[in-house]
Amino acid sequence: MVSLSFTYYWHEGIEGGGWRIIETPSPIPGLDYIPPPVGTEIYLSPGWDNDSGSPVTGYIVVQVVFPGGTQLVFYTPQHTLQAYEGIHQELPPFTLDVVGIYMLRLWVFVDDVAVAFKVVNFEVESVSIPTTLTISAPPIVAPNDPFFITGILYETTSLIPIPNQTITLSYNDTILGSAITGIDGDYLLQASIPTEGFYTLTANF
């Protein structure tokens, strides 16, 4: 008899630094699954066991189904397990480039016949990146006179500009228009305000 055991996973920056178990709940206390952030390059190491009293030669097929249906398929090298022996075999890394629920389908093949099957679901989370959005405009303009609103959107820690983001500009909750950040994270909008007064300009994305 052959069976699939649990699957280890590892990625750069993983909490604790070591391999953890992708199944939930984890069969081993302290190795609980922690959702990795999107964009992570992950390594999987599925395992299988020979529960019989004689040697068995086989291999594992792993199908990774991404949110949206994209699929990857991996084959482990063929291996002979002695009686009551188990093994984990590391797969090539791949990138978790979509947020959502992923599915692992795992088979053990012996003599090219599937003798064990298992499904494991795991979650990949979005990444929260601190950002800074600046805004600049003339301090005084006449009613209905056009003026320019400018600013830059960038990652707060790394100072890397963030392009292709829609910036919505408004005054006192009245929308003036929107602009898209360029390659340097900068935006520009020409606007006008029809009436006299003191107004607060805001930018959001």
The residues that bridge with 191 in the sheet, in sequence order, are 147
Does the pLDDT at position 128 exceed 80?
no
Domain with CATH 2.60.40.10 in the chain: 2-124, 131-204
Does the pLDDT at position 140 exceed 90?
yes
Architecture in CATH of 131-204:
Sandwich (2.60)
* Predicted local distance difference test score (pLDDT) of residue 170: 96
- Least Cα distance to 66 among 10, 14, 122 occurs for 122
CATH code for 2-124? 2.60.40.10
Does the pLDDT at position 127 exceed 80?
no
| Cα angle value 70/73/76 (rounded, 5°) | 160
Q: What is the pLDDT of residues 147-196, one digit of tens each?
A: 999 999 998 988 989 998 999 999 998 999 999 999 999 999 999 999 99
Q: Which residues have C-beta within 8 Å of that of residue 78, sequence separation ≥ 6?
A: 57, 58, 59
* Predicted local distance difference test score (pLDDT) of residue 15: 83
What's phi and psi for 5, nearest 5 deg? Answer: -95, -165
What mean pLDDT value characterizes the chain?
A: 94
**What percentage of residues in the chain have a pLDDT greater than 90?**
82
Q: What is the pLDDT of residues 148-158, one digit of tens each?
A: 999 999 989 88
